Amino acid sequence: MSEVGTHRRLQLSELEELRNDAYESAKIYKEKTKVFHDRHIIRKSFQVGDKVLLYNSRLHLFPSKLRSRWVGPYIVKSVFRHGAIEILNPSTKAVSKVNGQRLKPILELPSDRVVEVMDLYEPLYFDD
C-alpha cells in the first residue's frame, strides 16, 4: 500500500510541475505578445488648433456598411495631461470634452498649390 501511495504522490507532483511549466510558458507568451503589440502602437499627440475627426461610437447600434464612422471636422481647443481633449465644433460653436483615443487628425494638403491651366484647341485639317 505504501508503494502505491508513494507512486501516486509522485504522479501528483509531476502533474503540478507540468501545470507550473504551462503557466510559466503562457506568462512568457503573453509578455512577448504585449511587447510586440505595444511596439506597433502609434501614439497620437494633438496641438491646440489642430483639425480632428471624432469617432461615432453610436453607429454600432445601427450599423451601416457605407456610412462613415468619423464625424467632423472639429478643432482642438485644449489638451489635458490625462488624455482628455476639448474640441470645438466650428459650425455650432459647441465645446465638448472627449477621450483622445476617439480622435484622429485630419491630414490636409497645402492650400497654396499652383494650378496650371492649359487650353486645348481643335486641330486644323486641310483638305488636299
Between strands 84-88 and 95-99, the pairing is antiparallel
As for how many domains the chain has, the answer is 2
CATH number, residue 83: 2.30.30.140
Looking at the structure, tell me whether residues 100 and 63 fall in a common domain. Answer: yes
**Peptide bond preceding 90: is omega within 30 degrees of 0, i.e. cis?**
no
> Residue 87 burial by CB count (10 A; 0-12/13-18/19+): exposed, middle or buried?
buried
Residues 6+ apart with CB under 8 A from 95: 77, 86, 87, 88, 89
Q: Is residue 127 part of a domain?
A: no
Q: Is residue 88 part of a domain?
A: yes
Looking at the structure, tell me whether residues 55 and 97 fall in a common domain. Answer: yes
Looking at the structure, tell me whether residues 55 and 34 fall in a common domain. Answer: no
Looking at the structure, tell me whether residues 35 and 71 fall in a common domain. Answer: no
Q: How many CA atoms lie within 13 A of 71 on its CB side?
A: 10
Grid cell listed for 65: 456598411
Confidence of residue 126 (pLDDT cuts 50, 70, 90): low
Residues in the chain: 128
Contact, 52 vs 107, CB < 8 A? no
Name the amino acid, one letter, at 124.
Answer: L
Looking at the structure, tell me whether residues 33 and 77 fall in a common domain. Answer: no
Name the amino acid, one letter, at 8.
Answer: R
What is the extent of the structural domain holding 6?
1-41
* Mean pLDDT, rounded, for 49-65: 78
Return the higher-pLDDT residue of 83 and 110: 83
* Mean pLDDT, rounded, for 6-17: 92
List, as own/partner pairs, every contact residues 24-30 make where C-beta atoms lie below 8 angstroms and the sequence separation is at least 24, other chains included. Answer: none
Q: Is residue 119 part of a domain?
A: no
Residue range 59-97, pLDDT digits in tens: 566 666 777 788 889 999 999 988 899 999 999 999 999
